[in-house]
Amino acid sequence: MNKQKKPLYYYYFIILLIFVLINTFVLPLFSTKIESVAYNRFMRDAEEEKIDTVEIGDTSIRYTLKEDAGKIYETETMETDTALSERLYASGASFSRIHTKEMNPLLYYFLTLVLPIAFLWWLGNRTFKKMQKKLGDDAMSFGGGFNPMGSFGKSDAKVYVKSQTGKTFKDVAGQEEAKEALVEMVDFLKNPEKYSKIGAQMPKGALLVGPPGTGKTLLAKAVAGEAEVPFFSISGSEFVEMFVGRGAARVRDLFKQAREKAPCIIFIDEIDTIGKKRDTSGIGSNDEREQTLNQLLAEMDGFDGSKGVIILAATNRPESLDPALLRPGRFDRRIPVDLPDLNGREAILKVHARDVKMGTNIDYNAIARATAGASGAELANIINEAALLAVKDDRTIVSQRDLEEAVETVIAGVQRKNAVISSKEKMIVAYHEIGHALVAAKSKHAAPVHKITIVPRTSGALGYTMQISEDETNLISKEEAFTKIMTFTGGRAAEQLIFNSITSGAANDIEQATKIARSMITRLGMSDAFGMTALETLNNPYLGSDTTLSCSAETAAKVDQEVITLIKKAYEEAYRILEEHKSKLHELAKFLYEKETITGEEFMEILNQPSHF
């Protein structure tokens, strides 16, 4: 087997390291220590006949003592002492006079400053060229040469030549509508003459919009892979730096590189970093960011779309982009890349499971139904977590149980098997979770119970109840929303009914119930008091969906009162259901306390049997 040759800069580093170590540790061992003393001590040592040798220079005197010849003492020369030679002769010391010659200042400057800088520049430039040659043309950075000023206006975009992104549309699942919108662009890059004959031009740019993890970057790479054209990839944050004008220069260089390699694709990730709306008031504006945006707008207007340069950009904050960036002629198309539906999640799971050894009886549909609202990245993480669980159990094949446990790991965290919980708290948690499940099972508009557990998780949950809808739904009725609030209040109602006390275990339930109740009143028009009046504005729909009240203080107070009334009504209804089925509550809580985890089938089987209490 041939041993891989080490790069040249590796040996430069070794030589430099050896040089530093020698100067730091070795040379001091062989160097003679020189101690500065006063002139009167020198004369005292001479009178006491302790001096062995003396060297008299133009500005200093160095001497050694008979008792310690390895140490050198130094003192200043006294021009007024004319009888120094006689005193040294009388003391028996051997002495001599040395005339030092000063070095030429130009030569000293050259040896101490110019020569070391030139050597370091040569060493760094040689090293950089070797590294650049090693990287090759597959994925190179247009960052310029070694000279930092030479790369001031160079973009940091990485270009992947031909289909070396390694991705095609086969690697993208669950985004069929987005793929269909991008197929035309791929066809244009492959067959531009078909469009030029009729005089049609493809859109200069397409904006991929969606939540994080839905596959926007993957789609852009797949377009480049399908079209087999160069693919420039850069993040919006790489344009903006502390030096004003540098971002605009990088934009110019990026488009220059793209024109030279046309047809090609430019992909700008997180474009909202440089594409935010410009501040008309001038207060709090960022000159560098605005200059970069202005240059991007000018470049998109300046190049010919028929040349085959297509710009793709991705963002999860489309509402923050400047209107000039979204007008026709720049980003002509807006392609939604939303969270996948049931069929999309199943397809994504199968795509990510291709490289993993899966069992023969895997039910991907069941996992897809259990992960409603999950993004493609989260589904890929579930497959990976399942593989890790199989390895942990010394198995070579992933089973259905591994996938189900992976879903719970992503949702609620890893099991805390060593967590110490008292019997009393364990019993309270058991009644709490059965309260949720029992209210859901006895309500008409609730999703079926899939699993109940009181095993603590690393997310802080001491237990949870999992419900999985049988069908994928996009709408929620007023009755379904109210049932959700009832289910959330069921845990606290069970605690109050059985123990005549309440705990902090319902903190997350209270938060979720309040959020649903407030949205029913302020945004969904499900309140008799306000009707179809929008009292709240939804901000950043792809990033947490925070809201802002758009009403007076008096109305806001009424909204708060409506929320309290609605949640109180749901709590009373949940309490009534649990009180009517108190015997089943005891029986199911006892069963859960003993087994710690039960399935939805076990729960329904006990619930439908005659009570033993």
- What type of residue is 399? S
Token pair for 438: 């029992």
Query: Judging by DSSP bridges, how do beta strands 139-141 and 158-160 pair with one another?
Result: antiparallel
CA dist., res. 584 & res. 611, Å (int): 6
Beta carbons within 8 Å of 183's beta carbon, 6+ residues apart: 169
Planar angle of CA 365, 371, 377, nearest 5 degrees = 105
Contact in structure between 444 and 479 (CB atoms under 8 Å): yes
Contact in structure between 437 and 340 (CB atoms under 8 Å): no
**450 membership: H or E segment, kind and range:** strand 449-453
- Beta bridge partners, 266, equal 232, 311
Region for residue 395 given its phi and psi (left: phi exceeds 0; alpha: psi -120 to 50; beta: otherwise): beta
Planar angle of CA 343, 349, 354, nearest 5 degrees = 130
Token pair for 582: 């108190």
Token pair for 66: 């008979």
- Beta bridge partners, 51, equal 65
Contact in structure between 583 and 569 (CB atoms under 8 Å): no
Contact in structure between 27 and 58 (CB atoms under 8 Å): no
CA distances for 16 relative to 19, 74, 360, angstroms: 5, 34, 58
Contact in structure between 186 and 172 (CB atoms under 8 Å): no
- What type of residue is 149? M
The edge-to-edge listing of strands for the beta sheet with 449-453 is: 464-467, 449-453, 597-599
Residue 433 annotated among the catalytic residues of the structure: yes
Q: Please identify which residue in the block is written with the tokens 């040569």.
A: 122
319: DSSP letter: G
List for the chain the helix, strand, coil content (%; round to 5).
50, 15, 35
Q: Please identify which residue in the block is written with the tokens 């994925």.
A: 139
Task: Please pick, among 288, 433, 573, 587, the residue that the annotation labels catalytic.
Answer: 433
Token pair for 164: 């070396």
Contact in structure between 449 and 490 (CB atoms under 8 Å): no
CA dist., res. 240 & res. 496, Å (int): 57
Beta carbons within 8 Å of 607's beta carbon, 6+ residues apart: 438, 441, 584, 588
- What type of residue is 123? L
Residues labelled catalytic:
433
